Structure 1
């Protein structure tokens, strides 16, 4: 039988990590991502205090202030929740970690195979709260 691709054999699907997302609030840049902890190097997971297993995803948030062409560290507090397609909600407890001279925020959520989660984050900078939403499939 000939497939749409002619004589080429089918190739297996490959994991492609989602692109990092960001939102801008004036001169504040908030970058965020969620990824399975199994995709982390063992040393990175250990440094972040995260279990490296199939049931855990890391949520990382980086907050910077744009000053001219330079991005500087920006103090912030981050809270959030993750919801699956059935509406089940998981609060995310964030803690600060040092990453390349910056202070980023990392949390973890429980995931199952083929989960699709919606993340709702609140990032507070200098008393002003910014809201960010994004989705990730696992």
Structure 2
């Protein structure tokens, strides 16, 4: 099942060949190597996706202020409430960090990214390829409910 966050991410990645800047990300077909991590906090679904910034089209990267580079990955976090066809964004306080296998821990500064009526949080982190990063995302909803997401991703030179 595709989600708006997943579709937005795919649209960002597949806009590489576009010659004009789009008004908003365009939904696209499933990207085989995309890996989402999902947790629920009550009736809210939190989804985190990490991808190399080189997968972004240059116009999209420029529009959202993201540097495309082999040594940089993007973290995208979205929080939604409701059915897939009628989801709404849920605001939250999010603190994200990435740790490498040598124990180096780096904070990931997240900022809001709007696409139509939906809002997500996006940030980037530098990697030294090949690398394995453990991501930890602490989510606090406005009502005080909390959850921590943890997952690991491997990054290889392309």
TM-score normalised to structure 2 length: 0.72
Structure 1 residues 39 and 67, CA gap change in structure 2 (3 angstroms): closer
Is residue 2:96 matched to residue 1:80?
Answer: yes
Larger Rg: 1
- Residue deviations 1:39-97, cap 9 Å, x none? 11112211221100111110010011125973211111211110011111011110001
Q: For structure 1, which runs of at least 5 residues remain unmatched after alignment?
A: 1-15
Residue in 1 aligned with 2:33? 17
Aligned residues: 124
Q: Aligned to 2:87, what secondary structure does the other structure show?
A: strand
CA distance in structure 2 between the aligned counterparts of 1:40 and 1:80, rounded to whole angstroms? 21
TM-aligned CA deviation for residue 22 of structure 1: 1.1
Deviates more, 1:80-89 or 1:40-49: 40-49
Does the CA contact (< 8 Å) of 1:21 and 1:33 recur in 2? yes
Cα distance between partner residues in 1 of 2:85 and 2:132: 36
CA RMSD in angstroms, aligned pairs only: 1.9
What's the TM-score, normalizing by structure 1?
Answer: 0.82
Structure 2: distance between partners of 1:31 and 1:105: 11
Question: Which residue matches 1:135?
Answer: 152
